Amino acid sequence: MALTLIADKIVKGKIYPALAQHEGRPYTQSWREFEQHWPYTVPLRLQEYCDHHAVPLNIVGLADSWPADAFYPIGLGFFDFGIDYFDLLPERVFTELWHSHIRVLFYYHEGDNPKRIKQRLDALVEQHQLPQQCYVFVSANTAADAIPGFVYFNDFELWYYQRNHNVAPLEIHDQPRSRDFTALVRLHKPWRAMAIADLHRNNLLNNSYWSYCETVTAPTDLNDSPIEIDSIKDLRTDTENFLAQTPYVSDELSNNERNNHSMIVPKYHVDSYCNIVFETHFDADQSSGVFLTEKTYKPIKHGQLFFIAGCAGSLQVLRDQGYRVFDRVLDNTYDRVENNTERWQRLCTAIKESQHRLADRFATVQEDIQHNQRLFLETKTARLNILLEHINESY
């Protein structure tokens, strides 16, 4: 049964962002700018995905009759703990919510700690004397699956599928490649700085495409990191020296072009064997969950081995999705290490050990690399149908 969504209005077939004050039109720059304006609600990614993968949705308007299992969807650019989302609801939506006739559906593509979000929403529910089960929250943090009323969904797999859809997957060839690794960092974060500085000082990037593109001029608090910098010999000094010489670039793109996910630089994938993915989070907001983004799915679509500098359990999430993570040729035991500093050290060792006969390792698992590419390119209808079932069955 199709999910029923209540829309304030529909413009060119798109549900207009709920609660939005900003004015925008689909297929224009203004439609991409809702996140910059209070209350930071955005176009519903879920509708975009369902339209693309032929998953039906039943969309009704504010003035229509609503079935009892309908949802009022709120797409979130980011979750603002200072906003009372329920206080902003249209009057009819709030009334029907109060009578338990409908529910709010929050759709959030980020990896913030869902336990903290639930505490905030539950406090608002109590404040407004609403039914406890008046909302469902979709989160891209795996910790959501253990929380009543929350549903985990790996949003960025579909997001990168959409944004890079017009780019053909690169050929997985068996010719020699000139570089061992691709290791790209666009935006500065303290943990990323110390991680790539650690690789750099250990000469692991000597034969690699690598970058740290942001110029860092302001002082950086290197203690603000899940990796305990002073537990690794001389890493603080070496990171400070590394940052003093930023930026490090390996292409001629602008920052906007690097953030344009409809573009790729082919050499980063076809001329290196292994991608060292620097994910958005190394520890997803102290949630004990995993948050994966397009950074992980780029080497999957375009045919590389990969390591993930990210949350503990990242590789297991990919296994659960059906992807292969090359356990036969890479030491992936780092992924099971919950201590952040120890996980980074174990990963650094695994990267160093992988350099030995890297071309042979790649050839050994080329069938697995091809499998990953095919799986990524498949329609996501089944994944979306499972999500809709979980939304309907939450609580």
184-226 per-position pLDDT tens digit:
999 999 999 999 999 999 999 999 999 999 999 999 999 999 9
- pTM of the shown model: 0.96
Ordered by where they begin, the domains of the chain are 3-153 (no CATH), 163-377 (3.40.50)
64-92 per-position pLDDT tens digit:
999 989 999 999 999 999 999 999 999 99
Buried b (16+ CB within 10 A) or exposed e, 291-302: bbbbbbbbbbbb
Q: Which residues pair with 248 in a beta bridge?
A: 212
Which residue type does 119 have? Q
pLDDT given at position 2: 87
Residue 184, C-beta contacts closer than 8 angstroms, at least 6 positions apart = 209, 210, 211, 213, 250, 268, 278
**SS3 sequence, 100-138?**
CCCEEEEEECCCCCHHHHHHHHHHHHHHCCCCCCCEEEE
166-183 per-position pLDDT tens digit:
999 999 999 999 999 999
